[in-house]
Structure 1
Amino acid sequence: MIEAGLLFIGLVAGIAAAALAFRPAFRRYARTEEALKADNEAKNAQLIDLNRQAAERAARCAALEEKLLYQQAEAERERARRTEEIAALQEQQRLAFKNLANDILEEKSRQFKQSNRESLESLLKPFRENIEGFRKRVDEVYDKEAQQRFSLKEEIRSLNEMNRRMSEEANNLTRALKGNSKVQGDWGEMILETILDSSHLVKGIHYFTQENLKDAAGNNLRPDVILNLPDRKQIVVDSKVSLTAYVAYTESADPDEASRAVKNHLRSVRSHIDELGSKRYQALVDSPDFVIMFVPNEPAFLLAMQYDPTLWSDAYNKKVIVSSPTNLFALLKLVDDLWKRDKQNKNAIAIATEGANLYDKFVGFAETLTDLGRSVSAAGEKYERAIKQLKTGSGNLIRRTERLRELGVKATKDLPAQLSDYDDGDPLPGAQDGRSGLQVEKNNGIG
């Protein structure tokens, strides 16, 4: 009985000792479990917030799309109305010109000669004014419509792109963080390609990827992107990813470890700047004296700028401009706008050239018409002189010819009615008694 009691006491003592021995482990386990729960709750809260933001942006996108559809419909109606106005104006000018030409051709010779210069001047002046007013109005309507459509479309596109990138970046960044440097580099190039696609720039025209360049020593260099500008200028854009130290910073709970991670991150960014600056890409293409180093992770870019205020200026002194996705997107929109303005300028030059050619052509026609008027006037004067010789004055040709009929010449045709109002002149001898024809016949018979 005593032995059983001692055995029980020993068992209890052993259990108590074991509990004391494992108590620290239990506490660590409890703390770990609490930390995991807190981290899980924070991520759940972040996910809820992201879902809310996505829903808000989706609602804004829907409203803006509805507004865009309405404005497009309004623009289409306005364009149709302008088209009708232009057609009516062209028809009006055509009819006016036709009527004016008919009036000119129907004018008498003398009146045309006197009013020729004034008529042509009055014809050219409204034509010039109409063309100038029409051109200004078309430019104003086009510029206003283009600005409104561009602004609204870009806002919708930016919001849609932002929503899409938020989802893709979270997944892609997770995969990149778990991979090696090659995976991170590919991820950075993918982000760069995505931003280029969303900027309306056309691959193969406005930019090229992975183009091979050779430096003075014959070494092959392959920048990620060569961005084309108007007037045959180019800018090199190269993606550089610095994520390892940044991830260590975000995951560090210890201030000292976080500080070391920030220093490593800055060291990595500066190393990329030095590497890119040493390649001197801008000397290999017709480029402004700088290259763009694209940092695809916006928080990593902001962290570097926050802890090293001189980083950007130091990079600029090395002919390198450090750019985040937001900054690069703004730059690409500026490049897209430069291309649009270049196209508009070329169109304006073509329109001005065509207008000048049209005006010169019309002036040539007006000069030809003026020469025609002079010819018509001269022909009219000659015609009047010929008519006078034919039907007016003493001894005119018509009177002399008609006297032949009076003298007994037999004819099968009569003079036109418009020539019947000739001057009679002096009568021939023997014509007063109406016997001249008989006398001629008698004389002919006697002879």
Structure 2
Amino acid sequence: MLTALSPVAESLRAVQAKVAELEQQRLRQHGELSEQLRAAAESEERLRSTAETLAAALKSNSTRGLWGETQLRNVVQAAGLLERVDFDVQTSIRSDAGAGRPDMVIHLPGGKDIAVDAKVPFAAYLEASSIPVTATGAEGARRTELLRDHVRAVRAHIDTLAGKTYWAGLDSSPELTIAFIPSESLVSSALEADPSIMDYAFQKRIALASPVTLWSVLKTIAFSWQQDVVTQEAKQLFDLSRELYGRISTLATHVDKLGRSLRGSVADYNRFVGSLERQVLPSARRLSMLDEATVLQSPATIDDVPRDLAAVELTAQLEPRD
């Protein structure tokens, strides 16, 4: 029996070794998983700390303003516009509402300008975002009230911006101001809480713009600039073509006059040759046939001597003076 059971013993020992190996692998994998979970927890903690730091920083009005201006500059540059060529920053504007300084003035084709103001109504939204969307009861009511406060902050920003009437201080400006809000969630949450806020802004001549919508508008403006350049070049080409046509017409007039002059000169030359051959040369031939001795006689010799002056009156004028 022992001899018959020896293969079974060998199989059991192999299974036992395999189980021990699997246990070692499990322990090693468990250790690796524990290390990954610990790293994930540390990363989450760092992310939470960073988010809290960012949230604390964004509670400052100056920090929010700097963030909004930075986002605005990034969007404008991403659209392909150049500073001091296609737009200017912190330009002073004076209108009936007083002096103002929008964050940016974008130059449109045709000598027109449009003002852009970057503000971040963020405080109420930041508190509301800390409450889960699925919250119910007091937490849900608190989140709803905070979103309403966010809508009121956006409306107050619209009213303030509309009162500045930046368009009145710009030459040939569309009668509106772009209110840039540097976060899609800030705009979408306000629209979700109050869908009529966009119409309210339009009535105040304010266009709410998120980064995506502003980029689309600026990209259209950049394309309009390209088309304006093409149009100017086409106009210049048309003006040059018209000028060249006029000069060619003048040149053709001169060529026609020259042709008429050449034709007249050729006709005069032909008449001259005809007169020379028909009239002058025959007479010259007949003249050569004449005897010059019979035609031209030798001149006679003059032997007389001129008479001297004898009168005193005449000779007195000829006497030399001392």
Higher RCO structure (Cα 8 Å, ≥6 apart): 2
**Structure 1 counterpart SS, 2:156:** helix
Normalising by the residue count of structure 2, what TM-score does the alignment of the two structures yield?
Answer: 0.69
Check if 1:358 corresponds to 2:244.
yes
Deviation of residue 283 (structure 1)? 1.8
Match of 1:398 among 257, 281, 290: 281
Counterparts in 2 of 1:319 and 1:356: CA distance versus 1, 3 Å: same
Deviation of residue 442 (structure 1)? 8.5
Match of 2:70 among 190, 194, 198: 190
Aligned partner of 2:117 in structure 1 is 238
Aligned partner of 1:204 in structure 2 is 84
Deviation of residue 363 (structure 1)? 0.8
Deviation of residue 234 (structure 1)? 1.4
Alpha-carbon separation, structure 2, partners of 1:215 and 1:173: 41
Aligned partner of 2:258 in structure 1 is 372
- Unpaired stretches in structure 2, ≥5 consecutive residues: 1-36, 300-322
Alpha-carbon separation, structure 1, partners of 2:285 and 2:211: 104
The number of equivalent residue pairs is 248
Aligned partner of 1:324 in structure 2 is 210
AA in 1 matched with 2:109: P
- Unpaired stretches in structure 1, ≥5 consecutive residues: 1-36, 48-171, 408-436
Aligned partner of 1:87 in structure 2 is none
Alpha-carbon separation, structure 2, partners of 1:341 and 1:323: 24
Alpha-carbon separation, structure 2, partners of 1:405 and 1:325: 110
Aligned partner of 2:193 in structure 1 is 307
Counterparts in 2 of 1:175 and 1:190: CA distance versus 1, 3 Å: farther
Deviation of residue 399 (structure 1)? 2.4
Match of 1:343 among 206, 229, 238: 229
Alpha-carbon separation, structure 2, partners of 1:236 and 1:402: 100
Question: Could you tell me whether the CA contact under 8 Å between 1:176 and 1:184 is conserved in 2?
Answer: no
Alpha-carbon separation, structure 2, partners of 1:330 and 1:207: 16
Counterparts in 2 of 1:215 and 1:174: CA distance versus 1, 3 Å: farther
Per-residue CA deviation, residues 136-160 of structure 1 (Å, 9 max, x unaligned), is: xxxxxxxxxxxxxxxxxxxxxxxxx
After TM superposition, the structure 1 = structure 2 runs for residues 100-115 of structure 1, keeping only pairs within 5 Å, are none
Normalising by the residue count of structure 1, what TM-score does the alignment of the two structures yield?
Answer: 0.51
AA in 2 matched with 1:371: K
Per-residue CA deviation, residues 76-104 of structure 1 (Å, 9 max, x unaligned), is: xxxxxxxxxxxxxxxxxxxxxxxxxxxxx
Deviation of residue 245 (structure 1)? 2.2
Check if 1:247 corresponds to 2:133.
no
Per-residue CA deviation, residues 38-57 of structure 1 (Å, 9 max, x unaligned), is: xx68x97xx9xxxxxxxxxx
Question: Could you tell me whether the CA contact under 8 Å between 2:96 and 2:168 is conserved in 1?
Answer: no
Per-residue CA deviation, residues 174-193 of structure 1 (Å, 9 max, x unaligned), is: 76522112101110011001
Counterparts in 2 of 1:397 and 1:264: CA distance versus 1, 3 Å: same
Which runs of 4 or more aligned residues in structure 1 lie more than 3 Å from their structure 2 counterparts after TM superposition?
172-176, 402-407, 440-447
Alpha-carbon separation, structure 2, partners of 1:269 and 1:256: 20
Deviation of residue 372 (structure 1)? 0.9
Alpha-carbon separation, structure 2, partners of 1:398 and 1:177: 118
Question: Could you tell me whether the CA contact under 8 Å between 1:177 and 1:244 is conserved in 2?
Answer: no
Match of 1:271 among 139, 153, 156: 156
Deviation of residue 205 (structure 1)? 2.5
